[in-house]
Amino acid sequence: MPRTSHGGPHLANPPTVIVMVGLPARGKTYISRKLTRYLNWIGIPTKVFNVGEYRREAVKHYSTYDFFKSDNEDAVKIRQQCALAALRDVKTYLTEEEGQVAVFDATNTTRERRDMILEFGAVNGFKIFFIESVCDDPNVIACNILEVKVSSPDYQDCNKTDAMEDFKKRIECYRMNYQPLDPDQYDKNLSFIKVIDVGRRFLVNRIQDHIQSRIVYYLMNIHVQPRSIYLCRHGESQHNLQGRLGGDSGLSTRGRKFAGALAKFVEEQNLKDLKVWTSQMRRSIQTAEALNVPYEQWKALNEIDGGVCEEMTYEEMRERFPDEFALRDQDKYYYRYPSGESYQDLVQRVEPVIMGLERQENVLVVCHQAVMRCLLAYFLDKSADEMPYLKCPLHTVLKLTPVAYGCKVESITLNVEAVNTHRDRPERGPSTLIRRNSVTPLTSPEPSKNNHVPTGCNKCLYVRGVTFPSHA
């Protein structure tokens, strides 16, 4: 029998509950959603549980900030019940739905609330990692309220001025009982990061595993300054004209024409301090050189490695390697070309590019179809299943502008004809092929983990010695 702690399971790789901490309008939900998008993109199943949504479901019509006063006993009970309902769903996600990380998005401003969550984690065998967002800049707070809060369902029938005033009073209700994480005494043994003034400074305490270290690294790279990211493929290449995979051919006549059109487009955008990044392949370098601006080459931006299938057409691949062709159609994300790469490999390769993009302001990335799909999937929160079929046509620029909880996309066609290299998702046949005896075996999804539940606890949530039915 495995050793247990407080009746909870003792797992070699237990799930993680990320607990947000901080006053309202400090960017907790922004961090929650952005971090969840990143973790899902790198293959760690993650889901946000926003307690505010549970509260809005329980209380259909919001009245005023009085609901958040600490002496409003009825409201305090409702808010506590909403938090417990969210924790029940966290437990279900991590023990029954193969989740690996759950983000508990709420203020969690008191030690009593955080101690309850710690006990919940101990009982169920979950690691707890706190992210506290601290900000005292009135301009940042006002901007957050105006951009996000006044347009929330709480204020759908309220003008902006009244909504701003009510929300500021709501913040004061929380401030009266706010107990920040204390790295020197009370909370010195907890794992957490404090994000101070939207990333101006950080305080990191007792990082304990790989997931926590990746979270910290990610949070230390993101910023909220206005900017745009431009993604495009190289101009049409000779291999594109021939329908060949990969290779390192140069631009076609139309590809060179696109490079000139791209230079004109960039000039018209009149972007200050625009960074230009390319791969190390001829077709992307030739495209960037036409811009007549400095550019940086990234090997990580090179096209997916087709291995033994490099420079073949799809027809040649189907004839010479029919099983490989079928395997790729069966699961394009996890399929790895013999002696080559899969989309899963590519995500790992371009992760440093994502970190670089998160640090920068305006950037133009000249890359390749599979690479652009990986980057686009990150910014648009697309699944691994969707990623290999995202449309990234030649001679088209995608302008990505990060907004509050997502990314605005504009598609700009530069009116230079090019071949269509997109291949739609094939219809799935009845049979399933399994790769055997390959030198570079097909990468498989992580095996389903066994659900370890404490004896007698499979239908209950335990918090502070009180049992709550999991279906309540």
Q: Which residues are known catalytic residues?
A: 234, 303
CA–CA separation, 391 and 249 (whole Å): 22
CA–CA separation, 287 and 282 (whole Å): 8
Which residues does 191 contact at the CB level (< 8 Å), separation at least 6? 127, 128, 129, 130, 205, 206, 207, 208, 212
CA–CA separation, 438 and 213 (whole Å): 34
Q: Are 114 and 182 in contact (CB under 8 A)?
A: no
Q: How many helices (H) and strands (E) does the chain have?
A: 14, 14
CA–CA separation, 288 and 60 (whole Å): 54
Instruction: For residue 471, count other CB atoms closer than 10 A to its CB.
Output: 8
Radius of gyration of the chain (CA): 25
- Specify the 3-state DSSP secondary structure of 49: strand
Q: Compute CA distances 323 → 308, 317, 336, whole Å.
A: 14, 10, 13
Site of tokens 């599979």: 370
Closest CA to 344 of 216, 440, 237: 440
Q: Are 352 and 467 in contact (CB under 8 A)?
A: no
Phi (first) and psi of residue 234, to 5 degrees: -55, 165
Beta strands at 127-134 and 192-196: parallel, antiparallel or unpaired: parallel
Token reading at 417: 């004809």
Q: Are 167 and 62 in contact (CB under 8 A)?
A: no
Q: Are 25 and 141 in contact (CB under 8 A)?
A: yes
Question: Which residues are annotated as part of the binding site?
Answer: 233-240, 283
Residue type, 375: L
445 alpha-carbon distance from chain centroid: 19
